[in-house]
Each structure stands twice: as C-alpha cells, then as structure tokens.
Chains A and B, each alone.
Chain A
Amino acid sequence: MTLRDFIDKLLGRQAASANTARQRLQLVLAHDRSDLNPELLEQMRREILEVVSRYVEIDLEEGDVSLETEDRVTALVANLPIKRARTTPLPASVASA
C-alpha cells in the first residue's frame, strides 16, 4: 500500500485507478491465457475441494483455488487451510454427497 492509498482510505476516497487497472488486468489475463472458461474453473474448483476434503478437513470458508499469472506463466494456485487430517480417507461417494 502506498502513502496515497493510505490517505485515500482514511478519507474514504476512491483509490487511484492505476492500482485497480493492474489488478483487473492480472485477473483477466490469467483467464485469457489459460483459456479456461469460468464455468469449467468453478467445476474444477469444486472437484478439487471434494478430493482434498476426503483426506483432510479443510476450512471451506478460507479455502481458495484460483488462477494466477506471472511472467506469462499461468498457475493454478490452491490455498486450502487444513483444520485436521483424517485418519482414514473418506470414500469418494461420501465426500461428494
């Protein structure tokens, strides 16, 4: 955060637009570059969470699977805080129910 952003926040003003532009571009380019449509991405996100939660209890509120892009390489980044491990994995059907 820059000094300007900080003062803007204090005064309840809109932040300078360059920052917004950069963030929006990064997001839209991650999608453009991967050629994944949002629907497919959402489906994949759900399935990943399903599989992972068979093995560990995860915090679904905090969990996030998203696309990030840097140096023209797009990565699928999963950030899944683990509450606790399961001693035996749940069967596939139970977790998806």
Chain B
Amino acid sequence: MSRTILICSGKGGVGKTTLTANLGIALARQGASTAVLDADFGLRNLDLLLGLENRIIYTAQEVLAESCRLEQALVRHKQEPNLSLLPAGNPRMLEWLTPDDMQKIVGLLEERFDFVLIDCPAGIEDGFKNAAAASREAIVVTTPEVSAVRDADRVIGLLQTRAIEPIQLVLNRVRPRMMANQEMLAVGDVTDILALPLLGLVVEDEQVIVSTNRGEPLTLNGSRSPAGLAYTNVARRLRGEEVPIVDPSKEPQGLRARFSRLMQTKIF
C-alpha cells in the first residue's frame, strides 16, 4: 500500500519544497521507493533543490496526453536511485492541470512507489485544490510566526473537510535563542493552537542555503547539520519509528539558557 502525502502550508516561502526534497531523499535512503511530484508547476523549484534541473525532458502532462510513458517522464536521482522526480507540468502551460489529471497521475505513481510526496504550491486556490485532490495524508509546514500559523490554520480546515488523514505538523525555521527569550512562539503554542501532532522540528540552519546552492539536499550525504538530522528524523517518524523530538529552546546551553529558563518560570 503506497502513501501519498501532500506537503502544504498556505503561506509561501515557509519551507515546503526544502522539506519535500530532503524528505524524499531521506525516505529513499532508508530503502523506501519514493516519488516526489512537483505540483507547483507554475514556479517549479523542486528540480533545482534536487540538482535535477538539467534532466527534465517530459512532465506528467505528456504522460497524460500519452505522448510519452511514465518511465520516460520520471527523473531518477543518480546518487539515490530510490528517488524519482516527476514535474506535474510545464511552466508555460498554466491552464492545463485539473483535479482529475492529478488523480490519474498519482494513481500511476502509486502503482510503483511506496511514497508519493506532493510539493504543493502556496495559497488555497486552484493549485492547492489540484494538489490536494489526490492526497491521502498531509504534512503542514509552518514557521513560528503569526502569519504562517494563521495561514496553516486555514489550510488545516480545508484538509479536514476533504477527510485527509492524518495531518501532521512540521515546524520550520525555529530559532532556539529567540524562543528561549520568549520572543518567538513556543513549540507548544503552535501545536496547541493548530491542534496537530508534531512530526518534526527544524531549526534555522545556514546549511540549508549551502545545500540548495549545490542542488544536494542535506539528507543526501547524511549531513549531521541540525536541519539535516531533523529532516532524516521526519522520514524515520513517517515510517513509524519512534524518534523523540527535542525542543532546542529547552536544551541546556550554559548559563544564559538557564537564566532564561528561570525567567520563564510561571509565578502565577
């Protein structure tokens, strides 16, 4: 039974594509055959983050039009052959995709992959509706900021009316020091407000930018950077492994952290 998971956020730029690329590679490395589908075909980026931008010839569009076979459109990752990329469409054909098309293409992918990850475009309009049409589960990505959390809430409401289950949360770009100083929403604040189980927590990490420069996701070479480890752990949890989540704002960081913990003590 394959699992089709929508990776969405509502708000743009919170880290959906970065998560899709890293999670795809991590799942593949853990032995699961995985396809990543770029549903954000108007502004596609997933190919770039995976370093596959020069190898795209066809898209799902040509597969559905029967001008090529699925195998021809799938771009297999050289270093991690368990992972394949399928762009949903061509940036020049903005009108083409419908929820029906999406269901057909995902149906084909589900026949041969354990995991199908769908990188959703930002927003809650047609692009989102198309991407959600074929999804069974969802991961909502957000950052600890009011606008991102509010938009995540809208998306969660829409996913629930579509009976997409389970819906899990990845909290991205966490700054432990700001959180410890109570200048950033706490992890518990976000999970309470959105009432979703936490699947992963990714800190703000410069290595994310370095890895996108290279087109090599952090999980590809088993990077021990904080974000790399976090993405690998998301993959492990998704596969049912119990990996505890550590709140970095509560980790011991010397005197300063102990002081800020003291300041967080509830007095009444």
Contact = CB atoms under 8 A, between A and B. Distances in A.
* A and B found bound together: yes
Interface of A: 1-4, 6-7, 16-19, 21-22, 24-26, 28-29, 32-33, 71-72
Contacts of A17: 182-183
B186 A4 contact: no
A28 B148 CA distance: 13
Contacts of B262: 3
A28 B194 CA distance: 13
A32 B66 CA distance: 44
Interface string B175-204: 000010111111001000111000000000
Given A16-B183, A29-B150, A22 B264 contact: no
Contact of A16 (B156, B181, B195): B181
A22 B267 contact: no
A4 B259 CA distance: 10
Interface string B137-180: 00000000110011001101100100000000000000000010
B263 interface: yes
B263 A33 contact: no
B265 interface: yes
28 contacts: A1-B267, A2-B182, A2-B263, A2-B266, A2-B267, A3-B267, A16-B182, A17-B183, A18-B182, A18-B186, A18-B189, A19-B182, A21-B146, A21-B189, A22-B193, A25-B149, A25-B150, A28-B150, A29-B150, A32-B150, A32-B153, A32-B154, A33-B153, A33-B157, A71-B195, A72-B156, A72-B160, A72-B195
A29 B149 CA distance: 9
A1 B268 contact: yes
Contact of B193 (A1, A3, A4, A29): A29
Contacts of B154: 32
Given A22-B189, A71-B195, A4 B182 contact: yes
A21 B153 CA distance: 15
* Chain B CB within 10 A, most for which of A1, A2, A21: A21
B109 to A, nearest CB: 31
Given A3-B264, A22-B189, 16 more contacts: A1-B267, A2-B264, A2-B266, A2-B267, A3-B267, A4-B263, A16-B182, A18-B184, A21-B145, A21-B185, A22-B185, A25-B149, A25-B193, A28-B150, A72-B194, A72-B195
Nearest to B157: A33
A70 to B, nearest CB: 8
